[in-house]
Amino acid sequence: MADRAEIGVFGGSGFYSLLEDVREAKIDTPYGPPSDSFFLATVAGRRVAFLPRHGRRHTIPPHRINYRANVWAMRSLGVKAVISPCAAGSLAIGVKPGDFVVCDQFVDRTAGRSHTFFDGPIVTHLSSAETYDPVLRGLAIQTIRDHGITVHERGTVVVIEGPRFSTKSESKWFSDAGWEVINMTQYPEAWLCRELGMAVVNISLITDYDAGVLEGTEAVDAMSVLEVFAQNAERIQKVVLDLIGRFPADLDALGARAALGPTRGDGHAMSDEDIRLFETGL
């Protein structure tokens, strides 16, 4: 089917503008409209769905993104594994602008976002100990290294509500906690992927030192972030497209869907007849 995909990418038009035979598809969801149309193409023999999380003209601020609609629509296309690249700030001196970080943990400092599909009637508790898939993380690390880019093999991303940047005191607080990366979109995006049984990997492109991290540097502003991100856009595009070709042939073997098995908290035994609530709408 033309409107099916197995791998998803949350990213801007720079990814799919490089490809031929791109099909645009508008998708409706129970949670309202996604950020934009989905753009479907074939990369290295794999069907891929691209979605610009902020809209193709970058008109949706991070705190207004309809994360549930975006992720639900991605899953409805058949996607089983997601690449979630993002611009991010550094909270650690050793993590420099231009570096890539393949995060393995997140800390949620957002407020007011709709952040779960599990609103009942089946009570569900899914572990978030390892939200980012270790197999995909390993592939991402090797791909980035093969492209000659400085990569940090792990890191914790603290996700703030936005749209404002942190104060110096907040930056120092996050940095003192030992966290390496700061961003406004990884939560609940990555977590919602896990709730729908999709494996997810993050690549954080460091654009700046966050306010208060490095004495003597100017506080981060939107123009400087976009400038550095634009300078490195070609690098992340090449990495993501290369990474797609390295994904395992059997995405089910990653175990993201299977991880939903032991998560019911309503006291009833699982049976073969049980159907996940989200699956009834796909």
Active site residues: 208, 210
Our CA angle for 189, 190, 195, nearest 5°, is 95
179: which DSSP letter? -
Return the residue matching tokens 């898939």.
133
Closest CA to 52 of 74, 28, 30: 74
Cα end-to-end distance, the chain, whole Å: 15
Q: Tell me how far CA of residue 71 lies from CA of 168, 215, 273, in angstroms.
A: 33, 39, 25
- Return the H-helix or E-strand segment holding 10: strand 7-10
- Inter-residue contact 9 to 51 (CB < 8 Å): yes
Our CA angle for 217, 181, 220, nearest 5°, is 30
Q: Which two tokens stand for residue 272?
A: 């073969």
Closest CA to 10 of 62, 53, 68, 64: 53
At a CB cut-off of 8 Å and minimum separation 6, what does 275 contact? none
Q: Which two tokens stand for residue 220?
A: 């981060």
